[in-house]
Every structure is written in C-alpha cells, then in structure tokens.
Chains A and B, each alone.
Chain A
Amino acid sequence: MNQDNEKQKKKLAKKEWLRYARKPNPAEDHPYRDAFSRRAIKGLQYVRDEEDARQSLQRLESRVEQRVNAKKTTPRLASFLIKVAAAVLLLLIPFSIVWYDARPVSSQTAFERHFYPVTSNIPQSGPLREGAAEAETDLLRQAILDYENDSFASANEKFVQYLQTAPADIDVRFYYGVSLLAEGRATAAINQLKQVRRQSSVAPYRIPAQWYLGLAHLKLGQQAEAIAQLKPLANQTKSTHYREKAEALLLDIN
C-alpha cells in the first residue's frame, strides 16, 4: 500500500513505461493517477512489445536530436573557430570533392537532395473530369494551382475534400501523396502513395508512386524500407528517368 502511494507521487520514468509494454493489459494494472501517465501507459496497447516501444521511442528521440543539432547556435569563440576552419576547408575543397562524393549521406540529406514535387499534368483549365460537378472541378483546379505554387498545406486541404467525392481518382490521389510529402507529412504520404501503387499496376503512376514512397521512407529515416522501394526501380531492364534517379539516390545512401 505504501509502495503504491509512493508510485502515485513518483513520476512515470521511461524504463518503467517500457516495462508496462510487457503486460497484456497495461492500462488496467498500474498505480499512476495523473492523466498524462495514465494515457501514456494506455498507448502501449498499440505497440507489439517492450522492444517495439523502445525502438519507437528511439526513433523519436533521434529525430529530435537531428532537429536540435540542425539548429544549433554557437558561442562567439566557437563561431570564430568555425570561420577559420571553414576557410581552411575552402582551400581543401578541390582535393576533397571526389572523395566526398563517394561518401554515403544521411537519409535526411539524401531526401533533401533528391526530392522535388513532380509537375502536375492535370490541366488547370477546361473540363478536368468528365461528368464532375462544377464545384468539384473548381476545387480540383484550385488544389492544382496551390500545388503548383508550392502552397502544399492549402493544396492538401482541397485534395482531401475532392477525394471525398471522388475516392477512385487515382491521378489526384498521386498528386495528393506527393503534396503531403512536400508538406513534410511523410507517414500520410506513404498511406496515399501505397493506395496509388496498389491500384495502378499498369497505369502511369505505379513507378512514380514507388519513387516517392522510397523518398517518404527516407524522410522518416527508414533507410531499409526506402531501399526496398528504390532497388526495383534501379534494377529495371529498360532505361528510364526513374531508373536513373533511383540509381543516383542509392549511390548516395550506400
């Protein structure tokens, strides 16, 4: 009893949270009373086991670490030393370019180097979809305009609305997937692009969808999954635009 009271006062530590993932019904058997801890334990029913929870947490913390290091501020002395080092490096660049190009880069760097949203081939004027209501046509036209103007968040709102009325429109779903990725919503993009790839075994979007799926996995730091998507593209017998792109990307990360 005293132990329970102690736990109620004690904060839910990481190790303990992970330990609850071993239990079949983690939410039913714990002494924590605060809502933050209770719900955190409840969430463990959506992981397979302790190891799965640990990996998920590590992925999150390494993303935080990457983000934090990307924006690191430097004190004056460090800043001065960096400038000196940069000058020295500048002198060395001609000698190091060949060596550097052959070095593998991080998933995030590879993503930034290789991702750009494909230009839409859906016409912006005229009847976009046969039989579509005027409101839908207008909505789609606005979505494509936003997409072309790099206003991806706004485009995505409109794509969602449009796809509610035309869920089978595979062309639009493809651009929605790319647009989500451009907005940084890689998981949502994977959802959409998987649907496109599944539904277009022979249609023109199968290969592009696979390319962007590979990029979306890279964005999430899931390099193995990205390679699984990109390798088949690089191994195509026919020389295509996407084969070249996949080969270049795989060279960067391998």
Chain B
Amino acid sequence: MNLKSLSSRKAFKEQSDEELIAFYRRKRNPRIIGVLFNRYSHKVLGNCLSMLKNKPDAEDAAMEIFENLLNKLDHYEVKNFEAWLYKVTRNHCLKLLRDKIDVHREDIAEINPDTFVELESGSDHYIEERLEELSDAIDNLKKEDQRHCIVLFYLEQKSYQEIAQENGYSLNEVKSHIQNGRRNLRNSLN
C-alpha cells in the first residue's frame, strides 16, 4: 500500500477496513481509527441502544468502545473488522448491562432463576447468554408502558416514586406495569 496516498481523509475512505488497520499500526494516527469507526458508528450505536435501552448510556458506551479500539487494535490480530467490532460492542454492552442489573439481583431471581444463578456464580460465558436473553425479552414486551417502566426500574435504577413523577403515571400504575412486565418476562424466559 502506498502510504503517501493515505495522507488525506478522502484517500482513507477508499481503503478497506483491513488496509486501514495495517496503516494505523504503522502510523499510530487515531484519525484512521476515526474513519474506520465511523463506517460502523450507526451499528455500534444501534447495538448499544438495543442493550442499554437509553440514548445517553448508549452514546457513552459507543464512545468507550471507540476509545478501546485505539488500544485493542494494537494487540489483536483482526481478520474481519466488522465481525470483530460486533463482538467488542456486544461484550462491552453486556458488561455494562451486568453492572446495572446486579443491583436488582434478588428481583432477577424471581423473574429468571437461571440468570440469578449465573450472576451469583460469576461465570462470564453463561451470564452473557442469560443477559442477552433478558435484554431481548425486555425489548419484546408488547406493552410500551410495561417496557418503559421495567427499563426505568431495572436499568436506570429509578424508584417507583421517581418513575411516577417523571412520567406522569400514578404510583399504582407504575407498580402494576412493573408487576405485569415482570410476569411477562418470567413467562417468556422460563
């Protein structure tokens, strides 16, 4: 590859992912990774939104993933960047999701005992699978109000009172949405 031809942003855009990675390793110029990341920024952001379920956390997580790329690309041999980036994104989001959900592990035991067992045992492989199942089950809750209240309670650590005040529900409505949401999650996971 002609390195001089890569000196402009336009030239960066014409290179394959793998060529850009090789170039970054030689030049250590973060702009190269910026170009590479922005090819997939919508997918990274969309995946973070899907796992973390709110914009500010998703944007922060996507930014952390970008920061990590600068170091990781030094140490890992990457053959298919897009597939690798999906794995990095998924792992990062699952780690964040685990931290969020950990606070409610007793409630999780009631929804899905398997997830609780994995949280307790700390076995990384299985906990990832369980968390992904739980995240998908939340996404698939049919009633918008239930999904909204479940996300605010379990992932954003809001109290019943806060959810009611900030979203115009009565306290009883919040309790009912969370209770019904929890039951539906239990049904879809067990």
Contacts and interface: CB of A to CB of B under 8 A. Distances in A.
Contacts of A18: 42
A72 interface: yes
A14 B55 CA distance: 17
B188 interface: no
Contacts of A185: 60
A67 B30 contact: yes
Contact of B55 (A47, A69, A75): A47
Contact of A56 (B38, B43, B45, B82): B45
Interface size class of A (residues with CB under 8 A): 35 or more
Nearest to A164: B103
Interface string B33-72: 1100110111111111111011111111011001100000
B42 A14 contact: yes
B139 interface: yes
Contacts of A195: 162
- Most interface-central of A56, A60, A65, A191 (chain B CB within 10 A): A60
Interface of A: 11-12, 14, 17-18, 27, 35-37, 39-47, 52, 56-57, 59-61, 63-65, 67-69, 71-73, 75, 160, 164, 185-188, 190-191, 195, 198, 220
Interface of B: 7, 27-31, 33-34, 37-38, 40-51, 53-60, 62-63, 66-67, 82-83, 85-86, 89, 103, 139, 156-157, 162
Given A11-B82, A47-B49, A220-B56, 11 more contacts: A14-B41, A14-B42, A18-B42, A36-B40, A36-B47, A41-B46, A43-B48, A43-B49, A45-B139, A46-B55, A67-B66
Closest 4 CB pairs of A and B: A40-B46, A43-B49, A43-B50, A68-B34
